[in-house]
Amino acid sequence: MEANGEQYAANFSSIKEAQKRISLYIHKTPVLSSETLNAMSGRSLFFKCECFQKGCPLILYFKTSGNHAAALSLAAKLRGIPAYIVIPKNAPKCKVENVVRYGGQVIWSEATMHSRESVASKVLEETGAVLVHPYNDGRIISGQGTISLEFLEQVPLLDTIIVPISGGGLISGVALAAKSIKPAIRILAAEPIGANDAAQSKAAGRIITLLETNTVADGLRAFLGDLTWPIVRDLVDDVITVEDKEIIEAMKLCYEILKVAVEPSGAIGLAAVLSDGFRKNPAWQDSKKIGIVLSGGNVDLGVLWDSFRK
Amino acid sequence: MEANGEQYAANFSSIKEAQKRISLYIHKTPVLSSETLNAMSGRSLFFKCECFQKGCPLILYFKTSGNHAAALSLAAKLRGIPAYIVIPKNAPKCKVENVVRYGGQVIWSEATMHSRESVASKVLEETGAVLVHPYNDGRIISGQGTISLEFLEQVPLLDTIIVPISGGGLISGVALAAKSIKPAIRILAAEPIGANDAAQSKAAGRIITLLETNTVADGLRAFLGDLTWPIVRDLVDDVITVEDKEIIEAMKLCYEILKVAVEPSGAIGLAAVLSDGFRKNPAWQDSKKIGIVLSGGNVDLGVLWDSFRK
């Protein structure tokens, strides 16, 4: 697929190829719905539970969101090669534990993107390792695009899909595949106000990065990359930004009504669809059958509880 | 199906009939698995997520566990008739809220079974209402039996199913259907030590009720009824009892690894399969492919957190 004469890092063929490669190893993730949440939102909502994706290394490698570090650790372990995982000091404890559990070697960086990248460069230099970027990589984008293939097969009538946006890998794959199958489908990004680089980038027409981020959704603090930005620019129809308190409220609803244990990042799609900004915007009144990708799989119960008490 | 010349309150025909009746209204609940939990248990585990069952009144009426009160409230509301729900004073807040949300009229009783029954009798007398017992009812047992029909279609190779036991409705339905389809399948009940009336009843060969119960799994405090006991006596192969701390640990694993938000009662099957009592018992070494019913759907986040801190 091309736009502005530019070739994207992934396309419908690479996504179908990814699906073929991983289909032996995965089951479809279920789609859940709830009359209560439909009534609250005034739409028909369909939740694609990517958070249940199984712990197979091939899947985790190519169809992951929020588990990149653990996934690579496991994939490397099974191949008998070392994995060096650069982790910022403010990462949730459970993410670090998962890396260690799967045999990855933790290399600490400061919390800034700059520190993460310079530490990663140093590791590459010293070890001869190859960088596998968590989102700015055509293979990752293609794998995540398989979510749309499944989702539209399970719920063909979707007119809109809402996807959390961070570095843009997940939404790029979802948008590429969904718009290939169903060109008129609307793809909306959900982003925390405290890490709204995608909203700012879309408004400016170029990649904007932020000096700092401030959100409870730790999985959504990354910035768009040079491979994901063109896809987000061209294929994502708009970005809905939400407050942290809306994310926490949506996370509670996921637990109490859907019975799905998501991290804050995973619940942001529900937060978006329930937000006044979305509900009252005339532009989105015709989004009636909305798919919401529940991503992410690092539930840190300590942090969870702290956030519920805020 | 008969045993000891006795006709049970439900049978394979009534279960298939229930399935036909509810099949228009429900989707199959998914089955999840986890390599991590397989490794921890030394078996292949398949989790039937009944906790995701949708909020349709017909389903809730006939295929519910843990939601009986809310289900009846909703069913009655949709038919325009009143529902009087007798609730013990120590019931979790979220269960009461669900009843109110669905339009049920809450009638308080003390926490004992005796008080619950005498208050219910009084309501029946005063209002002319009909009692729908939460488990000691052939229609409820039949509806819950449909879980086995689905489960064995999804995972035909199961050699064992572990089911939480409280009043015995859920496990009666599951056992009747599973053993009709696959007579050699093993049906095990999972029960808290602090509410082990089923284990005691099986040992004594007659219904034993307890003076008091003491367990975090509030959904498992009821006692076997005269309709469920004969089925449990004849078709449940054994009862595995577990400590509250094992239930809490299993609930954490459900959240952190399966990403499923269960209440303590729902997690007890996993607790059982991970318990030393189960793992080291020679009688169960040949249970290799184990289905676990994750039941229950009342996640009270406050209680949840309190229990995690114990």
Chain B closest CA to A204's CA: distance in Å? 38
Angstrom distance (rounded) from CA A241 to CA A193: 5
Helix (H) or strand (E) holding B37: helix B35-41
- Nearest C-alpha in B relative to A305: B305
Chain B closest CA to A223's CA: distance in Å? 26
Q: Are A187 and A179 within 8 A, CB to CB? A: yes
Q: Choose the closest CB to A260 out of B94, B260, B305.
A: B260
Chain B closest CA to A31's CA: distance in Å? 9
Angstrom distance (rounded) from CA B148 to CA B13: 13
Q: Choose the closest CB to A255 out of B252, B258, B301.
A: B301
- Please give the C-alpha separations between residue B44 and each of A224, B287, B288, in angstroms, as whole numbers: 40, 9, 6
Domains and CATH numbers, chain B: 2-55+138-309 (3.40.50.1100), 57-127 (3.40.50.1100)
Angstrom distance (rounded) from CA A209 to CA A213: 10
Q: Choose the closest CB to B256 out of A52, A252, A301.
A: A301
- Which residue, A57, A261, A296, A193, is CA-closest to B308? A261
Cβ <8 Å between A259 and B32:
no
Q: Which residues 6+ apart lie within 8 Å of A133 measured at CB?
A: A140, A225
Predicted local distance difference test score (pLDDT) of residue B65: 43
- Please give the C-alpha separations between residue B2 and each of A278, B77, B179, B228, B231, in angstroms, as whole numbers: 58, 37, 12, 13, 9
Q: What percent of chain A has pLDDT over 70?
A: 86
How far is CA A35 from its chain centroid? 25
Task: Please give the interface size between A and B, counted as residue pairs whose CB atoms are below 8 Å apart.
Answer: 71
- Is the minimum CB–CB distance between A33 and chain B shorter than 8 Å? yes
CA angle A150, A45, A232 (to 5 degrees): 60
More confident residue, A174 or A3: A174
Q: Choose the closest CB to B261 out of A34, A255, A308.
A: A255
- Which residue, A103, A158, A99, is CA-closest to A134? A99
Angstrom distance (rounded) from CA A218 to CA A225: 18
Chain A closest CA to B49's CA: distance in Å? 10
- Is the minimum CB–CB distance between A252 and chain B shorter than 8 Å? yes
Q: Choose the closest CB to A305 out of B256, B259, B305.
A: B305
- Which range has the worst mean pLDDT, A162-176, A197-211, B116-130? B116-130
The bridge status of strand B238-242 relative to strand A238-242 is unpaired
Cβ <8 Å between B262 and A258:
no
Q: Best residue in A44, A93, A259 to probe B by mutation, most B CBs within 10 Å?
A: A259
* Alpha helices, DSSP H, located in chain A: 12-22, 35-41, 57-62, 68-79, 93-101, 113-127, 138-154, 169-181, 197-204, 229-235, 244-253, 264-274, 276-279, 301-309
Q: Which of residues 51-70 of B touch A (CB under 8 A)?
A: 51-52, 54-56
Three-state DSSP class for B93? helix
Q: Best residue in B101, B259, B308 to probe A by mutation, most A CBs within 10 Å?
A: B259
Residues of B in Cβ contact (< 8 Å) with A262: 259
- Nearest C-alpha in A relative to B154: A27
Chain B closest CA to A230's CA: distance in Å? 33
Predicted local distance difference test score (pLDDT) of residue A279: 94
| Whether ipTM exceeds 0.90 | no
The residue to which tokens 């809730």 are assigned:
B60
- Is the minimum CB–CB distance between B310 and chain A shorter than 8 Å? no
Predicted local distance difference test score (pLDDT) of residue B304: 56
Predicted local distance difference test score (pLDDT) of residue A104: 87
pLDDT in tens, chain B (310 residues): 444 445 899 999 999 998 887 776 666 889 999 888 999 999 999 999 988 875 433 334 444 445 677 777 777 777 788 889 888 888 877 778 878 887 889 999 998 878 988 998 999 899 888 887 878 888 889 988 999 999 999 999 999 999 999 999 999 999 999 999 999 999 999 999 999 999 999 999 999 999 899 998 888 888 999 999 999 999 999 999 999 999 999 999 998 889 998 888 999 999 999 999 899 999 999 999 999 999 865 555 555 555 555 4
- Nearest C-alpha in B relative to A309: B302
Cβ <8 Å between B54 and A35:
yes
